[in-house]
Structure 1
């Protein structure tokens, strides 16, 4: 594979599993050093780094930060700056809490918004100026289909993802004229997955399976029938390939978008 990210460094938040890990592997395969982040003990962090290096990354190093705490994000970004700085920033860390609006406590609201939206704001405000100085930078925010359409019982999550899409559009406009075709320019985009095979969906899959006598596949089919016309989930690797393409020089003029990968969900 072409090593078009050789010499670049990518920070992927929430990259010890799922979509984040798949993206880290894909970017590493193209030659990028990977700053790994997530909720992980030392063994889990080391395992993720080893997997990413085995996929082809020249180096993978774990950086710790609580995405609810701006001070720890600032410390992480400073440490990454000393390591070389993030040429590519993938904000993937996120949580979901399913609850009716009337039962969503201030604590639930604050936590979901802090991790899903404010955390991305802090990494972006600290990374983008250096990207502009270099003439190349990619911010890829993993939003959700719920950054484009709503669902019941997900008010904090939907609000955070709609906010992430809006934040990304503003940043895209502010940095659109930095760099050029030769340097790669600065782009800011969102990927908006629909149903994707990740651990965050396990509670919903299990609940749906329980309604079908424990049949997991039947439960998944029922979930997808309600929303995703293709009837197929996406795999994390498929989301990763889109993130990889968005990082390529050829994508220099694609910015400010929110790209659904949802089997037709938002087309309805």
Structure 2
């Protein structure tokens, strides 16, 4: 069976832009799209307060999904879920085993901070899975080639997701630059150690060129990553979601959460086992 990309849609602009991005990504991967719309009608849904939920009827939703699918240049499966998005995504993932979950990030600049409980964060907490977040600021749908992998210098393992991510990077012929973020300027830059931690995962196997290395010092690691990711030579930034630093802390204090909420380039979040 061909690989798939699971993409969430609510028919708003951010989701439509993410769909365009995912469609272009699916072509070199030879992947089909699983287009998932989740009907969200719970008063406990935090985004009920933002006005960013579709109010289409079930019949209208089916028609809209069908029209979207007909306009795409890659094979598409459409599904309608119900209730909490994270649970609907977990169910779809268990059946389709996609390479990635893809979703658009709307403009939250006018939304009070306490209401910014995004779908991405809820999914990562409830059903962690490799996730590509496409911000509303992305102006190009070109396939990413120049990829920045942000690391804290500690070993990591991707577990069952390692093979899919290796396939993704290899198919894209990615130029992979490893960014080592230091919080203390007196810490030594451990280039060899950091690069070896990447090689052990197999992520650099069969890439067109050698791993590149960059280091930066930032009192707030997220600021260092965001600054580096805004460089003109970066198409995509990869960040890790470690269990101890993401799920067990407040989202507002998680480096990963800050990056995916504020980055101006697409962010690929990889859950780790440690």
Q: Establish whether TM, by shorter chain, passes 0.5.
A: no
Q: Which of the two has greater strand per residue?
A: 2
TM-score if structure 1 supplies the norm length?
Answer: 0.41
Query: Normalising to structure 2: TM-score of the pair?
Result: 0.40
